[in-house]
Amino acid sequence: MNKLLSGSFYIFFLLIVGIGNAIAGASSIGLAHHNSHTTHPTIAAPGHSLFAFGVKRGLEKKGNKNKQFPHPLYGAAEERVTQRSAGGVSCLRAAAQSTRETINFNTGWKFHMAYDVRKQPETINVTLPHTWNAQDVLSGKGNYQRESGIYEKSFTIDPAWKNKRLFLYFEGANSVATVLINKHFVTEHKGGYTAFCVEITGLVKPGETNQVEVQVSNAARTDVLPLCGDFNVYGGIHRPVSLLVTAKDCISPLDHGSPGVYLTPSSVSEQLATVNILTKLSVTASTGLQIRSEVIDAGQHVVASVTNAVSNNRNAAQTIRLKQPHLWNGKANPYVYTVQVNLLKDGQVIDRVTQPLGLRYYHVDANKGFILNGKYLDLHGVGFHEDVEGKGSALDTADYDEDMQLIKEIGATALRLTHYPHGKYFYDLCDRTGMVVWSEIPFVGPGGYTGAGYLKNPELEGQARQVLTEMIRQDYNHPSVCFWGLFNELKLDHDDPVPFIKELNTLAKKEDPTRLTTCATFLDGDRFNQVSDLIAWNKYYGWYDGEFKQIGVWADKTHHSYPQKAFAVSEYGAGGSPFKHSENNVKPDADGKFHPEEWQTSYHEMNWLELSKRPFIWGKFVWALADFGSSIRTEGDTSGINDKGLVTYDRKVKKDAFYFYKANWNPEPMLYITDRRNEVRTQQATVIKIYSTMAHVKLRVNGTVIANGEPDEFHIIRWENVLLHKGKNKIEVSATTDRKVLQDTCEWTMEDKNGITK
């Protein structure tokens, strides 16, 4: 653990104010609550009562800035960008302000693999985020580059910061990061998907050149999560880095990488909301210090504020009340306030932290599903990985924006951020777009594969507790987050994980009694039913085995067997290639190379037909939004790819199943011809199927009107036994809405059995 953080480790305990109601609510028959009257685990100072307040990245070879570096370890070849200070010394200047500065620290890094210990190792210039695995993971071999790389950066500190404090904030380095400043060890952080912060004030020299070195390892270890999984553990500093500059007295950035401010709504209604604010401090003396917290609405007006004297050096607790609050109501109205917490000394602001505030209340009913602000909300959406072709997990904001646009287009209301906490920027996007979020730690089992996701290893258990604490504290203030996930697909053939999962659940409830905990299992039975507030199952009927309709039979049986336990379907999906097709739609071999798009489409149509009829399933999450890298995969079109995505790895092709969900989840007018990429046909009589949110759709084949059609309850129109001509056939559909004509068209070629079209 970070030696500089060790002084910030506190003994946490709960002051129980209304906690009995929370426990009773969560354990009520068939009901799990987000209770707006619960407490946040606060630190009480002696004698005080704290009330629970309810760019493309450039890769250049050293010594030749014009030469591209195509080595597969270092990301996508043929990419470069002119970097300010690339290969030189970053000059960091103080801004003309007295409050905290957050400075981009992503440029000017040099990188080489750690095994290269020559006097002049082969070094490249990189801009963060970066991974060395963007290419080699696609070989279809499980032994991709899992070792250590070294990042180095030289920088100078503005002499104006002589009386300031300096911190480096890493949003994520996968999987173990060792930080040195001026060749002296500072800290080690285990876990690649949560942030960490380290103070470097006493280790750097203003006005001189300083050096930071970060050695990062993604080697498999038995004391770092995940131990295994059907996804790649991309090595590198794969998330942004910032330099924080604060006053000597500041709001602490050292509380497990959190913002140091915790906002806890504690009794929310349309009439009134109470918000409790806990601010962690790092100060030498409290004399003359005050905390002023302001709630700012979307129009940038201060609608509530409170100022208190700081009475101890560790924390400050405040309460703010808002009358007729504007509630955060998912996609319908994702209203977010801003809370500015200011630290003042002798009346002057010396530090400021800004956080989002969304006011909402919710619970999950075992019979009625998810209830937000008193009304049922159908939670349907996707799970997905931070993984994009050519970049791996080293995403920038444009990548996050593109994925969110896809999520919005498809009409999702909820997201499962699998199988680890995602990047900070994406949680902000979820807040603003109204997504209901399930965020989980990388406690991942091998599912149907060999290996163990858990070993009764004290070091591993300690790391799991650490990453759970970090996830909760770092993402505590995001209104989009409603569920904390404790594991995915653990098995029972190694050390029994159940006792430890119960410990994790207790820790999660201590850290945040206001949210619900859940897990994702693939094992039938009730073995995991008592480890968390909610439970969910990963089910693939009609892909790995079984038939499509079995998911409905299973759901009804499970609901009957455990009527008091609210459950979700955390994963369901099938592989599909937009470049492979079948006219007969015969079930393919999941482990084979032939994954026709048509079977994936049928899978989702029939599974959604069953799931949509059962509101007691509190969440339905498609696996997955996009194809992603998994080095163990050798099926489908491309080795090293899990092809269950609704869009391709490069995000360029939206598969037919994407448009099926868009038709069912997004009310916007649309028409889409399915099977459009099956361009070469051998059967003269065919089915033309479309997805439509519009009525009175007209079908033309080769310019001739065939018939009008009306969509069924799942927005599908089918025309049976439509005859194709030999050669090219033009398929057209159209409909009119609000005096606007929507059209879609494609072209199919019919061949005879010898491939002759004329």
- The catalytic residues are 489
- The first and second tokens of residue 126, run together, are 């990189």
One-letter identity of residue 157? I
DSSP 192-252: SSS-EEEE-GGG--BTSEEEEEEEEE----TTSS-S--SS----B--S-EEEEEE-SSEE-
For 209, counting Cβ atoms within 10 Å of its Cβ (0-12 exposed, 13-18 middle, 19+ buried), the class is middle
| DSSP category for residue 545 | B
CB atoms within 10 A of CB 377: 19
Cα–Cα nearest to 382, from 402, 408, 400: 408
Please, are residues 296 and 339 in contact by the beta-carbon 8 Å criterion?
A: yes
Give dist(CA 73, CA 71) in Å, integer: 6
Q: What CA–CA distance (Å, rounded) separates 233 from 736?
A: 49
Q: What residues does 363 pair with on adjacent strands? A: 33, 371
Alpha-carbon torsion 73, 75, 81, 82, what sign? negative
- Which of 575, 742, 720 lies closest to 646 in space, CA to CA? 575
What distance in Å separates the CA atoms of residue 316 and residue 165, rounded to the nearest whole number?
21
What's the count of helices (H) and strands (E) in the chain, helices before strands?
8, 44
> Identity (one letter) of the amino acid at 414?
A
Q: Which of 321, 260, 322, 317 is nearest to 476 (CA)?
A: 260
Gap between the Cα atoms of 661 and 654, Å rounded: 11
* Angle between helical axes of 424-433 and 397-410 (0-180°, round to 10): 30
- Which residues contact residue 66 at a Cβ distance below 8 angstroms, ignoring those fewer than 6 apart? none
- Say if CB 173 and CB 192 are below 8 A apart: yes
**CA dihedral sign, ordered 666, 668, 671, 677:** negative
Question: Where in 95-224 does DSSP place strands (E)?
Answer: 101-104, 109-113, 124-126, 148-157, 165-170, 176-181, 184-190, 196-199, 209-217
CA distances from 27 to 31, 32, 199, 546 (A): 7, 7, 42, 34
Contact 174, 392 (CB under 8 A): no
Distance separating alpha carbons of residues 446 and 225, to the nearest angstrom: 12
- Find the helix or strand (DSSP H, E) in which 722 lies: strand 716-723
Dist. CA 316–CA 299, nearest whole Å: 28
Q: Which amino acid is at 440?
A: E
Tell how far CA 206 is from the center of its chain: 38
Q: What is the DSSP letter of 647?
A: B
